[in-house]
Chain A
Amino acid sequence: MNDIQLPAIDYAALLPMLIVFGAACVGILVEAFAPRGWRFVIQVSLTIGGLVAGLVAIIVNRDLEITTIGGAVTVDGPGLFLQGAIIILGIVSLGLIAERRLERGGPFVAEAAHAANSDGDKRQEREPGATEVFPLTLFAIAGMMLFCVSGDLLTMFVALEVFSLPLYLLCGLARRRRLISQEAALKYFLLGAFASAFFLYGVALLYGYAGTVSLTGIREGVLQSEQSGILLAAGLALLAIGLLFKAAAVPFHVWTPDVYQGAPTPVTALMAACTKAAAFGGLLRVFNVAFETTAWDWQPVLATVAILTMVVGSILAVAQTDIKRLLAYSSVANAGYLLVGVVSLNGAVGSSLFYLIAYGFSVLGAFAMVTLVRDSEGEATHLSRWAGLGKGSPLFSALFTFLMLGFAGIPLTSGFTSKFALFSSAWDSDQSVLVIVGVLSSVVLAFPYLKVVVLLWLNPPGEETPTVSVPSMLTRAVIFAGVAVTFVLGVAPSFLLDIVADAGPFLAK
C-alpha cells in the first residue's frame, strides 16, 4: 500500500516564509533561554535580521512564477510584491514596536497577567515590556505572507488564523489604559473568530460546489460543475464576509475604531499597514483567480459594499474627536477605495498594489507621530488636546500636516498619485460609478484631515496642551520613512508603478 507520494516542493519559493517562521521560532527559544536583560537586544536584532533575510529571499525570487506543493502555494508576481510590501511595512512598524525612549520600558506591558490597576500592576509600571511581542509580530507577518500566496482556501484559512491570533494577543498588551486595550483584544478576537467561522462555512459550500478548495479548481469548476449555482453564490458570499472583515469593509467594520483606539499604537500601525495589505492581497487573489469567470454575479454586490464603505467611512470620520478613531475610519474609507480596485479585477491589480504601499507608509508615519503627543497619562489622543501644537512644535506639526494632506489626496503626495492611479484604472475597467463615488467621498474625507490641520495651526493652545516627546532613532526613522515615501511616491511614482506593472496578473493556472 506504499502509494502516497510527496508532491514536488519548490523550497526556493517557500524560502521567504520559512525564514520568517524560523526566526519566530528562534525568537521563542530566545524567550525561553536568554537571560532577561539580554532579551530585548537579541529579539530586536533577530526580528530585523529575519525580516531582512526574508526580503532578500523575495528579491532573489522576483521573477519566480510557480505553483508548488500540489497547488497549495502559488508564488507569482503580485504575490511576491505583496510579500515584499508586508515585510517592508513590517520592518518599518518594528521601529515603533521596539521604541523604548518615549515611555520607560516601551509601549507594551511587562506582565499582562497582572490584573489592571492591581498591586502587581502598579509594581510593574516601570519594568521593561514583554519581549514576546517580537516573535508574535514575526508569526503575524509570516502568516500574512502565506495568506497572499495561498493557492487553496484551506491553506488560506490556516494562514488567516496564523496572522490573526498574534494580532488578537498584541492588541491586549498595552502598557497604559490596559482595560480599554483588553476590551479591544476581546472584541477583535470574538468578532474575528466569528468571521473565521463564516470563512470556513463558505469554504465548505464552495467545496460542495466545485469538489475542490483550490482557487484554480474553483475557477474551472465554475465552468463545469453540475451543482446548483446557489452553493456557489452562498459559498462566495460567506467567504467574502470572512475576507471583508479583515479588510474592514462596511458593514463588517464595526470592530475597527474600537480596536484601533484600544490597541497599543505600534500594533494599530502594524494592523493598518500590514493587515490591510494582506487582507487585500487575499481578496484580490480570490476574486481574480477563483471567481473572475463569475464576475457578473458578484461585481454589483461588491460594488455596493465598496460604495457603502467609502461613504460610511468618510462620513463617520468627520464626526470623530479622537485621532486614533479618526485614522480608523479613514482606514475604513481607504478600504472602500481598495475595494474599487478589487471590483475592477485584473485591470486594477497593479494600481491596488501601489495604493497599498503608498497608504501603508503614510499611515505608519501618522501613527508614529500619534505616539509622540503625550502627557503624564501616556498618549493624548483626543483631538481637543492637539489644539495649538503648531506653536510649540512647528516641525512636528509641519510633518503631520504633510501626512494629513497626503491622506486628503493633495497633489505632490502619494495620496494623490495612488488615488489617481487606482481611479483611472478603475475608470478604464468601466467602473465609472464607483470612481465618481470614490472621488466625491475623498472630498468629504479631506474635511476631517483639514480639520486636524486647522486645529494644529490656527486654534489657540488649550490649558493643558500635551508635549511632543523626543523619540529615539527608531521612531524618527519610521516618521522619516513615512513622510519620505509619501513625498517620493507623490513626486516620482513611476519607478514603483513600473514594478507593479511588471508584477503582472495573478497566476491562474
Chain B
Amino acid sequence: MSLSQWVPLVVLFTLATLFALFSVTIAPYIGPRRYNKAKLEAYECGIEPTPTPPGGSRFPVKFYLTAMLFIIFDIEIVFLYPWAVAFDSLGMFGFVEMLLFIVTVFVAYTYVWRRGGLDWD
C-alpha cells in the first residue's frame, strides 16, 4: 500500500481545518450585530435553560426520550455501515432494500416529529 492512497484523506483534513479557521475568523467581521437584553444571558441560544436542581439531583424525563431516539437512529446507522462498505457489490437490490428500511424507520421519525417529541418545551 503506497502513501498516495492517503492523499484524499489528508486533503479532507486540511480542508476541514481551513474551513473551521475561516469561519471563526470571518464571523466577527461579516456577522450582523444587533444587541438586546437576551445577549446578557449566560448561554446565548434563545432557549431558557431547563430547570435542573443544582447539586446533582434528578433530571427531567425528557432527557430519556432524547436518549432513546438517539439510540434508535444510531442502530439505523449500524446497518448503513456494512451497506456502504459493500455498496459496489450489492447492486440495485441493495439500494432498494436500504431505501425500504430507511423509509420504514422514517415512519417512526414522522410520528415522533408530529407528536412533538422533538420539541424541548
A and B touch in the complex (CB under 8 A): yes
User: Are B89 and A4 in touch, CB under 8 angstroms?
Assistant: yes
User: Across the two chains, which residue of chain B brings its CB closest to A22?
Assistant: B104
In chain B, residues 27-77, which have Cβ atoms closer than 8 Å to a Cβ of chain A?
61
User: Across the two chains, which residue of chain A brings its CB closest to B61?
Assistant: A113
Chain A hits for B91, CB < 8 A:
2, 4
Chain A hits for B110, CB < 8 A:
28-29, 32-33
- Chain B residue total in the interface (Cβ 8 A): 16
The proximity string for A residues 326-346 relative to B, scoring 1 for CB distances below 8 Å and 0 otherwise, is 000000000000000000000
- Tell me the interface secondary structure of chain B in the complex: helix
**A395 lies within 8 A of chain B by Cβ:** no
Complex CA–CA separation, A1 to B90 (angstroms): 9
User: Are A32 and B89 in touch, CB under 8 angstroms?
Assistant: no
User: Are A28 and B107 in touch, CB under 8 angstroms?
Assistant: yes
User: Are B86 and A29 in touch, CB under 8 angstroms?
Assistant: no
User: Are A33 and B89 in touch, CB under 8 angstroms?
Assistant: no
User: Are A4 and B107 in touch, CB under 8 angstroms?
Assistant: no
Complex CA–CA separation, A32 to B114 (angstroms): 5
- Chain A residue total in the interface (Cβ 8 A): 12
CB distance from A25 to the nearest CB of B (A): 5
Chain B hits for A28, CB < 8 A:
107-108, 110-111
Question: Which residue from A4, A25, A32, A33 sits with its C-beta under 8 Å from B86?
Answer: A4
In chain B, residues 85-121, which have Cβ atoms closer than 8 Å to a Cβ of chain A?
86, 88-91, 93-94, 104, 107-108, 110-111, 113-115
Chain A hits for B61, CB < 8 A:
113
Complex CA–CA separation, A31 to B109 (angstroms): 12
**A3 lies within 8 A of chain B by Cβ:** yes
Complex CA–CA separation, A6 to B104 (angstroms): 21
User: Are A1 and B89 in touch, CB under 8 angstroms?
Assistant: yes
User: Are A3 and B89 in touch, CB under 8 angstroms?
Assistant: yes
User: Are A33 and B114 in touch, CB under 8 angstroms?
Assistant: yes
User: Are A4 and B104 in touch, CB under 8 angstroms?
Assistant: no
With A1-B88, A25-B104 known to touch, is A32 a contact of B93 (CB < 8 Å)? no
CB distance from B106 to the nearest CB of A (A): 10
CB distance from B101 to the nearest CB of A (A): 12
Chain A hits for B107, CB < 8 A:
25, 28-29, 32
Give 22 pairs: A residue, B residue, CB < 8 Å, sorted on A: A1-B89, A2-B88, A2-B91, A3-B89, A4-B89, A4-B90, A4-B91, A4-B94, A6-B93, A25-B104, A25-B107, A28-B107, A28-B108, A28-B110, A28-B111, A29-B110, A29-B111, A31-B115, A32-B107, A32-B111, A32-B114, A33-B110
B residues apposed to A, CB below 8 Å: 61, 86, 88-91, 93-94, 104, 107-108, 110-111, 113-115
Give the top 8 A-B pairs by smallest Cβ distance, nearest first: A32-B114, A32-B111, A6-B93, A32-B110, A1-B89, A4-B89, A25-B107, A28-B107
A residues apposed to B, CB below 8 Å: 1-4, 6, 25, 28-29, 31-33, 113
Q: What would 16 more interface pairs be, CB under 8 Å, given A4-B89, A32-B114?
A: A1-B89, A2-B89, A2-B91, A4-B86, A4-B90, A25-B104, A28-B111, A29-B110, A29-B111, A31-B114, A31-B115, A32-B107, A32-B110, A32-B111, A32-B113, A32-B115
